[in-house]
Amino acid sequence: MMNRIAAAALTALALSAQGCAPITAQAPVATTTAAIPRAEQPAACPATGAALQVLGSGGPLAEWAGGEGRAGTSYLLWIDGTPRLLIDAGSGSFLRFAEAGGKLASLDAILLTHLHADHAGDLGDVLNSGGFETRTAPLPVIGPDSAERFPGTGEFLARLLGKDAGAFAYNGGFIDGSEAKFRLDPRDIPTAAGTAAAAGLDVSNDYSVVAHPVNHGPAPALGYVIEWNGKAVVITGDQSALSERFLADLTGAKPVILFAHHVINGAEGQPRGLHRTPAQIGELAGALAPARLVLTHNMQRSLAPMAESLAAISAGYAGAVTVAADLDCYAL
């Protein structure tokens, strides 16, 4: 397990809110992340009930700092100890999926927020591994529709795996269900730069999932709301403040957790306008009123100025804020 950075007061606050047993903290290491309010979530999800595990808490940069690295974005929904939904499969999440005990055989679907590499880069590998499991039922893969330089979800899979021209054409059995592979059942959700209507996804009778189109610059993108037993978790996905319909649809939703994808806008090498700034995350959290806000999609450039970011967020949202690490498990 990676180093756990203690931030005693905020951690205690988070733990008391969450009611979970603390993991014994290792000695803090000298790092710029020392002031980060870590959630200290257990890396093993509970055997009963629903939980969302953060497989990958990082962004597109390959970084190693303070004794830990972060895979690109990925989440795994557990219901009563069984993995049921994989949401994104960013770079590096293949290994985290294995560490978490993930299996494709029991998944109801794979959901994709968008087709940037830090969210979909390991999808082919996760599927390839799943091909060695015993699954025979088709597997829905649900994600955004197409735009210039972004294939839609179905086309993405065809370009990745298709027998004729796929990059991994040898795995083309996933497209048509031949060669002892389970068939992928892709679905493109209309996004219209974040202005399209939310779409309910009929993937399970045990919980509901709604895909909410968001604005992420030129990339068609979705956020997701998962609701189980009257408790909702909201995943913003990568989204800019132009995601006005997302904000309007979910204002007052009061989810148990809001996972916000956190990026410092305009940092060196970072295209502008693709993400909410910390202040805009605070505004969003203030409107949705989650019991807790968890920042993920973390990179050193967003972790280093955390004190300023937390101050900016607090202008809009007064609740608990913590920062996710890979494999953190959040019970609903």
Site stretch for Zn ion (CB under 5 A), options 96-104, 110-118, 156-164, 173-181: 110-118
How many residues touch Zn ion under the rule CB under 5 A: the total is 3
In the complex with Zn ion, the residue whose CB is nearer, 92 or 166, is 92
Q: What gap in Å lies between CA 284 and CA 269, rounded to an integer?
A: 25
116 binds Zn ion (CB under 5 A): yes
**Least distance from C-beta 214 to Zn ion, angstroms?**
10
Q: What gap in Å lies between CA 141 and CA 304, rounded to an integer?
A: 35
In the complex with Zn ion, the residue whose CB is nearer, 220 or 286, is 220
Site stretch for Zn ion (CB under 5 A), options 13-21, 185-193, 230-238, 314-322: 230-238
Site stretch for Zn ion (CB under 5 A), options 1-9, 17-25, 47-55, 114-122: 114-122
118 binds Zn ion (CB under 5 A): yes
Q: What gap in Å lies between CA 208 and CA 230, rounded to an integer?
A: 10
**How many angstroms separate the Cα of 4 from the Cα of each of 12, 37, 41, 325?**
14, 11, 10, 9
Q: What gap in Å lies between CA 68 and CA 70, rounded to an integer?
A: 7
**AA letter at 175:** I
**Least distance from C-beta 269 to Zn ion, angstroms?**
14
In the complex with Zn ion, the residue whose CB is nearer, 38 or 116, is 116
Q: If DSSP states are collapsed to H, E and C, what string results for 168-211?
A: CHHHCHHHHCCCCCCCEEEEEECCHHHCCCCEEECCCCCCEEEE
In the complex with Zn ion, the residue whose CB is nearer, 42 or 220, is 220
The correct pick among 122, 145, 238, 328 for binding Zn ion (CB under 5 A) is 238
For 215, the 3-state DSSP assignment is coil
Q: What gap in Å lies between CA 224 and CA 143, rounded to an integer?
A: 10
In the complex with Zn ion, the residue whose CB is nearer, 102 or 144, is 144
145 binds Zn ion (CB under 5 A): no
In the complex with Zn ion, the residue whose CB is nearer, 40 or 145, is 145
How many CB atoms sit inside 10 A of residue 124's CB? 19
- For Zn ion, the binding residues (CB under 5 A) are 116, 118, 238
